[in-house]
Amino acid sequence: MTAYPEPVAAPVERALALSVRDLSVLFPAGERVVQAVDRVSFYVREGESLGLVGESGCGKSATLRAVMGLIKPPAEVISGVAELHGRDLLAMTAAERRAVRGRSISMVFQDPGMSLNPVFPIGEQLAEVLRVKLDLDRTDARARALELLERVGIPAAKDRLGSYPHELSGGMRQRVMIAIAIACSPTVLLADEPTTALDVTIQDQVLRLLAGLQAELGMAMVLVSHDLGVIAQVCDTVAVMYAGRVVEYGPVREVLEAPRHPYTQALLRAEPTVDADAQSRLEAIDGQPPDLTGLPAGCSFAPRCAFRIDACGGASMDLDRTWPEHGSACIRAEETRP
């Protein structure tokens, strides 16, 4: 099994909410297959947040969909365990998984426009979740729907109960999706790039909303993003993914201030900062992400890495356990630290 940092005692001991171990997902690609997720492992405690970060196509969203049981044939979860408070989501029957979704674990998707039904008012869509999952009658479900819209900061919430998705801005639609996701007070919230396509101001509002709701409800949260600034703002722990694999894992501040993998370092150099000179150019990562149908032997980042040596071609992608809480899949981690 893939090594990853073991859960350690927190200052205030919290139970593990979600523990994912050795999760692998295959997608067909013509006559070949893509291993979109390759032995991914992580955990998140109650009330804490984990960030999954990396370039587009690295397997972040596929990881969350696999945990939620949303990988459909011909794609396939070929290995792994995803324990929600000790119960393996991947071993559940379809009926058991439907009972858990929305109640114990919920997900906010990238595009609320694709997730909301365009022909029903948002109040009705929210109330339906409450009727199905909590067995509320129509009157109580509508009242609860109004409370939830107010809770996520929808202005004039009572008037908006009858609004259709196309009548709302992108930020308001995302707030509605968050209201639906927290309707049953789940213990784990998965958020798949919830600020995609939103302007910076609205993005900040949505992130603050998520952080506030998490603190209020005591949820664990897994947040997917390609933006390290977003991860730094919201998360306690970060897992950096490359080509379907976790290449660095640890406390977010430690990883961002003292990254141990060249890919994490390259992501940070490519990240704009508020104190950067207006004329300065961001440093792009050389090369292109690898073809997932034919990954190179050893370290998959080696062809793009300035620190590569011959030994990288035979290197393991398991995380080094030298540092109990901060793991790196680079065999030269000590030499390449900034």
Average pLDDT over residues 133-143: 95
How many other C-beta atoms can be found within 10 angstroms of the C-beta atom of residue 46? 17
Q: Are residues 199 and 179 in the same domain?
A: no
Q: Are residues 169 and 205 in the same domain?
A: no
Decide which of 185, 212, 227 is a domain's last residue: 185
Tens of pLDDT along 43-88?
999 999 999 999 988 999 999 999 999 999 999 999 999 999 999 9
Q: Are residues 216 and 132 in the same domain?
A: no
Does any domain span residue 28? yes
pLDDT at residue 113, as a whole number: 79
Domain range for 89: 16-104+186-275+282-336
Q: Are residues 172 and 209 in the same domain?
A: no
Q: Are residues 328 and 304 in the same domain?
A: yes
Strands 49-53 and 32-45: unpaired
Q: Are residues 203 and 318 in the same domain?
A: yes
Q: Are residues 137 and 257 in the same domain?
A: no
Distance CA 7, CA 43 (A): 8
The CATH number of the domain where 325 resides is what?
3.40.50.300
Label residue 2 by pLDDT band (50, 70, 90): very low
Where is pLDDT greater, at 294 or 261? 261
Q: What is the mean pLDDT of the chain?
A: 89
Q: Are residues 88 and 179 in the same domain?
A: no
Answer whether residue 324 shows pLDDT above 80: no
Q: Are residues 93 and 38 in the same domain?
A: yes
Does any domain span residue 7? no
Decide which of 166, 185, 204 is a domain's last residue: 185
What is the count of structural domains for the chain? Answer: 2
Contact 45, 16 (CB under 8 A): yes
Does any domain span residue 4? no
Does any domain span residue 6? no
pLDDT at residue 24, as a whole number: 97
Q: Are residues 170 and 89 in the same domain?
A: no
C-alpha distances in Å from residue 185, one per residue of 100, 218, 287, 317: 12, 9, 44, 37
Q: Are residues 53 and 141 in the same domain?
A: no
Where is pLDDT greater, at 201 or 62? 62
Q: Write out 144-161 in H/E/C secondary structure.
A: HHHHHHHHCCCCCHHHHC
Q: Are residues 201 and 82 in the same domain?
A: yes
Distance CA 62, CA 152 (A): 27
Ranges assigned E (strand) in the chain? 16-29, 32-45, 49-53, 76-84, 87-88, 105-108, 188-192, 220-225, 237-242, 245-251, 327-328
Decide which of 153, 185, 217 is a domain's last residue: 185
C-alpha distances in Å from residue 262, one per residue of 18, 133, 258: 28, 45, 11
Does any domain span residue 78? yes
Residue with tokens 């029957």: 93
Contact 237, 48 (CB under 8 A): yes
218 Ramachandran zone, left/alpha/beta (phi>0; psi -120 to 50): left
Does any domain span residue 9? no
